Structure 1
Amino acid sequence: MAGRPVALLLPGQGAQYPGMAAELYGTEPAFTGAMDDVFGLLGEEGARIRADWLSDEPAVPIDDAVRAQPLLFAIGYAAGQALRAGGIRPDVLLGHSVGELVAAVLAGVIDLPGCARLLLARSAVLVDVPAGGMLAVAAAPRDVAPFLREAYPHVVLGAVNAPRQVVLAGTEPELSTIEHELSTAGFRCARVLSRQPFHSPAVRQAARRLAVVAARLELRSPRVPIRSTRTGRLVTSTEATDPTFWTHQVAEPVLFWPALEGLLGTGNYLLVESGPGAGLTTLARRHPKVRSGHSEVLALSPPGAAGTLETWRSAIRRLPIAEPVHEPRKLWYSGRTS
């Protein structure tokens, strides 16, 4: 794997599962310290999130966004900090959904305390979002287009994850009706583990409320390139310093495959998935550049909770080392403590 630049892939809603990354907590010092930093900044809610994360009987289910989203953020951030502490310095960041907020913090666009305030506000505004969800469909965008009719205005294309892998997002009962129609037509469908209709018009009002909080944050240009899954392009300085770029992402489609295409069109990479599971790894393996061996993919976590520590340590040994950081709880590239 030597010689290839490293691209860090940061997953979002749907990647969560009970016990995700828990084996690293208390055993990997940099990871543990970074998780505690996030929990501490989230205050009393952080303590509740931590308790549910480590419990066999959580008070709030892991698939609810008020648990999944902050935990996915915290694990992605902590993994990035642990890599940085070990001298592994990614050349570009690519985040899926809430993973893009992780990328923003790791790249120095938003500081950790500011992002913690945004996460708390995100959980608060999601309470008023109508019931709904997301549906993964093994189909191309053009295949599902006929099912997104005027009769179902609240269901939209929520993500393009691969040439024949999309996600529909929207409210009930419309989403279930379309699921039935797609299944009857022979398409393979599966519900994404989410109780909220992210990346659909149903969360636009929540995004506008989030923008009020984001407007009070100090935003900077990225110090590490971010390949955005909102646009498919590199995040510009103008976009990075626009609060609505980060808040309205929750209501817009996730363009993971276009972003990956854009990234691998610039060269050959070692793609490292740093969040829980290997969902983005599975998608990236479909890319011609990966299938041909020009680029490689590596997941830092297994598909389930068992074997996390072994998988993590085995993967870390395969990564190119630059220079270890002796103050692992410093934010990447910003010189600011968390």
Structure 2
Amino acid sequence: MSTTSAPLPASVPATMTAITIGAFGGPEVLTPGERPTPAPGPGEILVKVEAAGVNRPDVMQRKGLYPPPPGASDVPGLEIAGTVVALGPQTSRYKLGDKVCALVAGGGYAQYCTAQEAITLPVPEGLSMAEAAALPETVFTVWNNIFERGHLAAGEWLLVHGGTSGIGTTAIQMAKAFGAHVAVTAGSDDKCAACIRLGADLAVNYREKDFVAEVKSATGGKGANVILDMIGGPYIQKNYEAAAVDGRIVQIAFQKGAKAEVDFMRVMMKRLVHTGSTLRARPLAEKAALAEGIMQKVWPLISEGRLRPVMDQSFPLAEAARAHERMEASTHIGKIVLTVS
């Protein structure tokens, strides 16, 4: 914490409830405990959290596989929504009482959380706090990886693995809003039907059908122009088969492993680009630039009714372990959030 942090207002308690990771392991290691309330440093605001999104990286952190970057809170949670209750030095965008949602490097599973003002966005009108908390991590990820790294253009085909995840449901809506065709994979017919209702042009139950053949058929044999993959492992080679000539494959996670044996001849013959990124440890300036683009290009989609977070289930903050159990069961459709009293 910076030595130039702003003192906490009298209205803010000195301590708060936060979810701690007692030891790396299963969901049961997530327990509520008392922590000092953080004070906002330069460029930061303090948010009284009303809701926090639950994401796969939180699960990885709980297991000891995704440590927070240097200087970040060890409390899990990468996206929050709530009310501004204190302002740090060198802040000017928000005032006390403003309703905001923010991408944070950690600390979201708590009653209070500091956020960099530069990567904080106003809560869109008409959304609940739970819905607003479901936006930052997913929207930043989709915008950066599909549109900035993948360069998805109107008329192209996007293939998203995990179509009913928070990332997947957001990707479907954003890609359709910008004029693309969307194919997804999901693990049941019910999940596939949910993706079609959101606007997907093709939904493949990967337990029953070969997504490579289905994508090739839907695209007249050409394949997908952009593939967003969070699976890895055996999907890497399949993605090369499913990709179109000059296709772009963007890796954001490796649920089935980061190592695979692949035939790179497909990369040469199709002129493929296989890239990837993480978000949490990126420099503030890069995330701030993403926030500006999102404010200009994505936030209007919400006010127009073309993008809305798909909500699965909410749990009280103290029941974070149950939220992780639901996520790891992979039965959810859309976002899981924690509500904070």
Q: TM-score, normalised by structure 1?
A: 0.31
| Higher RCO (CA < 8 A, seq sep 6+) | 1
Which structure's residues are more often strand, by fraction?
2
Q: TM-score, normalised by structure 2?
A: 0.31
Which structure's residues are more often helix, by fraction?
1
